[in-house]
Amino acid sequence: MRGILLLLLFVLGCGVKSPPRPPDLLLPDSPRGASLKVREGRPFLEWSPPEDSEYLAYFVVLMREGCAGCPGDFVTVARIPFQRGRKKYRWEIEPPGEGETLIFQIRGENRWGYRGKSSRDLILRWRTPPPPPAHLEARGGDRCIRVRWSPVSEAEGYAIYRRKEGKSHPPDPIVFLPGEEFLDRELRNGVTFCYLVRGVVWSEGIAIEGRSSEEVCATPRDLVPPPPPSGVIAMKVKDRVEVDWFPVEAEPIRGYHVWRGRCGEGLKRITDSPVRETFFYDRPPERGCWVYGVTAVDASPRGNESEISRTVTVYF
């Protein structure tokens, strides 16, 4: 009898659903990464959807005028459809007058018209963007590029943008600087990089960027020679001279040049192109006392050459 009762309870319990949740409880979370930016004198809002966007239908942009903390009501100024799979949203702002303040919020709205949590207040107190910097120049060094430009009196700093050749500039600057010079380090030699600079004024923690400068490009080059070879020896072997040395392992090497001269005189290079081996056979033009040295040539496009190694003497 007890088994029959348990079976009946199980059968009657099948198909029973939990009570439906009302639409006003299925509210979207606040947008992620909501921010206010000014690029080339154009202010805009930017944000990403919340992680859970199951019931999200719209993003609502609200705005009010006045200072932060002052009384005032927000009004809806935009209603933007949510698009599943879209990672970034942007809404352009008409620049207000000098010194005017606008405060924005962004909220998600579900498919029944109920709004979720708001983003933080995004405050724009408008200041006139500075004019673009002029007279940009860029010079490549060893794994670095130095960029300079003329001062902009209206600017409180500068935003630096960088791209690789064949790529586009990123939406955000790589750095803000107070001065008129940027040394870009740890770059890859042989790769061309291009730069834009914008003047900046600051307001409520927002960088108000002006228009871009002219673009300049430069290529860092390996300008540092390798160390000279060590362990150089020279010996007479039958009717010729054998010169040996240790390989340079501090960096990639294209090859080596061998230098020769009479004792008491200067050395001249006797290899037309760098040799890959760490030995060289030579037949001096005359008998007598000869001096030998070796230089290393690195693998850079420029082919930087080291100083001459410690010289050695051989009697031929």
Question: Which tens digits make up the pLDDT trace of 217-263?
Answer: 999 998 899 999 999 999 999 899 999 999 999 999 999 999 999 99
Residue 13 has pLDDT above 50, yes or no: no
Regarding the domain delimited by 26-125, which CATH topology (the fold level of the hierarchy) does it fall under? Immunoglobulin-like (2.60.40)
Which pLDDT value is given to residue 301? Answer: 86
Query: Taking residues 282-311, what's their average pLDDT?
Result: 95
The radius of gyration computed from the CA coordinates of the chain, to the nearest angstrom, equals: 36
pLDDT one-digit tens code per residue, 138-185: 999 999 999 999 999 999 999 999 999 999 999 999 999 999 999 999
> Are 29 and 108 contacting, i.e. CB atoms less than 8 angstroms apart?
yes
CA distances from 90 to 40, 58, 62, 161, 251 (A): 15, 13, 14, 20, 48
Query: What are the backbone dihedrals phi and psi of residue 13, each rounded to the nearest 5 degrees, phi first?
Result: -75, -20
pLDDT band at 8 (very low <50, low <70, confident <90, very high): very low
- pLDDT tier at 20, thresholds 50, 70, 90: low
The CA distances from residue 297 to 144, 165, 245, 248, 273, in Å, are 21, 28, 14, 10, 10
Equal CATH topology for 137-218 and 233-315: yes
Q: What percent of the chain has pLDDT over 70?
A: 92
Q: Is the pLDDT of residue 68 over 80?
A: no
- pLDDT value at position 89? 98
Q: Where are the domains of the chain?
A: 26-125, 137-218, 233-315
Reported confidence tier of residue 21, pLDDT bands at 50, 70, 90: low
Q: Which of 22-36, 275-289, 293-307 has the lowest mean pLDDT?
A: 22-36
For residue 293, which amino acid is it? G
Provide the pLDDT for residue 72.
Answer: 83
CATH class of 233-315: mainly beta
Per the prediction, the chain carries an average pLDDT of 92
Quote the strand ranges of 185-310, DSSP E.
193-203, 206-212, 216-218, 233-237, 240-244, 253-262, 268-269, 279-282, 289-298
Which of 8-12, 68-72, 221-225 has the least mean pLDDT?
A: 8-12
- Give the CATH H-level superfamily of domain 137-218: Immunoglobulins (2.60.40.10)
Which pLDDT score is estimated for 9?
A: 40
Whole-angstrom Cα distance, residue 248 to residue 234? 18
Tokens 């860029």 -> residue = 138
- Tell me how far apart the alpha carbons of residues 217 and 195 are, in angstroms, rounded to a whole number: 6
Query: Angle at the Cα of 18 (from 16 to 24), degrees rounded to 5?
Result: 150
**Sequence-separated (6 or more) residues with CB below 8 Å from residue 252:** 298, 299
pLDDT at 15: 47
Phi, psi of 235 (to 5 degrees): -145, 150
In this predicted structure, the answer to whether residue 1 has a pLDDT above a threshold of 50 is: no
Better-scored residue on pLDDT, 188 or 1: 188
Alpha carbon separation from 20 to 7, 17, 23, 43, 87 (Å, rounded) = 27, 8, 9, 43, 30
> What do you get for the CA distance between the two ends of the chain, in Å?
119
